[in-house]
Structure 1
Amino acid sequence: MPVEGLRPWLQAAIAERLAAEGKTLATLELVQRIAAHAVQPNLAPLENVRNLIAVGSGKGGVGKSTTAVNLALALAADGARVGVLDADIYGPSVPTMLGLSGKPDSPDGKTIEPMRAHGIAAMSIGLLVEQDTPMIWRGPMATSALTQLLNETRWGELDYLIVDLPPGTGDIQLTLAQKIPVAGAVIVTTPQDVATLDARKALKMFEKVQVPVLGLVENMAVHVCSNCGHAEHVFGQGGGARMAEQYGVPLLGSLPLELAIREQGDAGTPVVAAQPDSAAAQAYRAAARNLAVRLALRPRVAPSISASLLG
């Protein structure tokens, strides 16, 4: 898992331990190795992409795309090489959230260079069409577009490719599960019962298609008034924790309902990049680290495949 962001904590912990033994820490060198992990049966990991992580939700409006983008930025802040694929063909939002505009380059007329923002690579159908152009496509066309975006983008070497899925359990999710090698999935929900009910459907879908669910992220868990500091659970309390316990999956993190998160996303500078020391950014970083830990505990790919990926 990526460890660069943990350097201050590790350095202090090691120095304290050595001091107890009358020793002094001279230097600290961290070496991280992010392995490729097992995917669905009969599929092999993508070339040059060690781990593809799907971020899904049972319904819209739970902040899935905001969560996916900020998790990607949090992993990158800890030293990983990260990309984001916007798989919401009908309602792409990643370009706006990352402040991307214009068209990506195609060096050979067949493949596409991803665009970059805040240190991560990104690709979206929203970068290939005009902003107000509706994608009036049937399911097969949308799923074909998704696989083309994935396979024809020149991602380079990535430790994690975060795939922001559309809400629900339709054609695109099924195509992803059947044809695209996924190392794990993350389910985003809000605390209220109607959201967790739909999130359960997403979780069961991933289980049925043999994609491991790494955990849940509870978004909009609590709002803290910027004037008086009063904390209020606008959408209920504990729904994510109850669902995680019921289905035996980890609760990776609970994220705040905060004005800055929405403002920074609309401005193309997500909160993890714009305000890295804020409480909101730290919540995303904690969730991303928990995600990386849960993935690291999963089986790795066969040694021969892993060696080719690691070069």
Structure 2
Amino acid sequence: MSVKSSTKRPAYARRSDLGDKLFYLLNYLLLGFLAVVILYPLYFIIIASISDPDAVLGGEVILFPVGLTLSGFQAILKRTDVWLGYLNTIIYTLLTVVLSLVVTIPAGWALSRKKLIAKKFFMIYFIIPMFFGGGLIPFYNVMSSLKLINTPWSVILPSVLSVWNLFMTRTFFDSSIPDGLVEAARIDGASEFRIFFSLVVPLSKAILAVMALYYAVGQWNSYFNAMIFLQDENLYPLQLILREILIASESTTGGSGETILEQYRLANQIKYVSVIVSSAPVIMLYPFVQKYFAQGVMIGSLKG
């Protein structure tokens, strides 16, 4: 006589499955809500930039563009100073990334070595300016003493080293490059320079990509140093040129009432267009470098 085994699951198992489903459902709802909160402002900027300014000002643009128009894009892209600003920003960004990697990667490797002489002193030396600054006036005096005012280097050099990025690099080397591998290279007769260039750098592609990305995004979005140190408009980066255009378009001094109203409508549209023009290259690049952003977050979470 055969006894059939019961396939009925225990009550506690069914309750556990129901609890898991509710948990995942709440998680999806919460994440979906956060995604809408984060993405909708970006979506609104896009649809507002191609909508009739009167519809935007009247609150008619909510989910879809109203009265399609590209007048804002035409007003900005027909200006030669915008394209010059793009060129300047690309040059500043490329030079900043190259110089930053040349400075940050070797410095991070040196700080990750336990046998570095006066390592504690160097750590404190880098930490102090991370939290305390001399202020804008001393900063300007230093740049003036170095004859860097109104030169591209006044925009590039202050962005070459980020202490936070330096410590991220040190943490990566400290946790990802085994000491045994370095010692084996020394036993084989490799010099410190040979170890760094032939062993460390090839194994550090992740941190190289992360640092290049962080420095590039930071320089691309920067405008404050250019606003303080540059007087020649031919040296202005894109962000500063868009700022000047927006300020000029919002000026309503002089002219008839109709001219002032038209200027205000155009300024409102340019406000949205300028965000897209300045952010489009980074947004288009992001899907290709998303994994490096994730790696950067993980690097910062490691011990060190």
TM category, shorter: under 0.3
Structure having the higher Rg: 2
Question: Could you say which structure has the higher strand fraction?
Answer: 1
User: TM-score, normalization: structure 1?
Assistant: 0.23
Question: Could you say which structure has the higher helix fraction?
Answer: 2
